Amino acid sequence: MAIQVGISACVLGERVRFDGGHKQNRFVVDELSNYVTFKPVCPEVGIGMTVPRPVIRLLQLPSGEERLVETKRQDIDHTDKMNAFTDKIVGQFDELCGYVVCAKSPTCGMERVKLHIANNNTVPGGTVGVYTKRLMAKMPWLPVEEDGRLNDPVLRENFVFRIFTLNDFYKSVRDNLSAKAFVEFHSRYKLVLMAHSPSAYKSLGQMVANIKDWDLDDFYYEYRQLFMDAVKERASRKNKTNVLMHLQGYFKRSLTKEQKAELAELIDSYRSGNQPILAPMALIKHYLREYPDPYLQIQTFIDPYPEELKLRYGL
Average pLDDT over the chain, rounded to an integer: 97
State how far the Cα of 83 lies from the Cα of 142, in Å rounded to an integer.
19
Q: Is the overall model pTM greater than 0.85, yes or no?
A: yes
User: Each residue of 76-104: pLDDT tens digit?
Assistant: 999 999 999 999 999 999 999 999 999 99
pLDDT of residue 1: 67
Per-residue pLDDT of the chain (315 residues; tens, 9 = 90+): 699 999 999 999 999 999 999 999 999 999 999 999 999 999 999 999 999 999 999 999 999 999 999 999 999 999 999 999 999 999 999 999 999 999 999 999 999 999 999 888 999 999 999 999 999 999 999 999 999 999 999 999 999 999 999 999 999 999 889 999 999 999 999 999 999 999 999 999 999 999 999 999 999 999 999 999 999 999 999 999 999 999 999 999 999 999 999 999 999 999 999 999 999 999 999 999 999 999 999 999 999 999 999 999 888
Burial code of 57-84, b = ≥16 C-beta within 10 A, e = fewer?
A: bbbbeeeeebbbbbeeeeeeebeebbbe
Neighbours of 310 (CB within 10 A): 12
Q: Which residues pair with 190 in a beta bridge?
A: none
CB 113 within 8 A of CB 130: no
State how far the Cα of 276 lies from the Cα of 286, in Å rounded to an integer.
17
Strand pairing report for 56-60 and 66-70 = antiparallel
User: Each residue of 166-186: pLDDT tens digit?
Assistant: 999 999 999 889 999 999 999
CB 241 within 8 A of CB 254: no
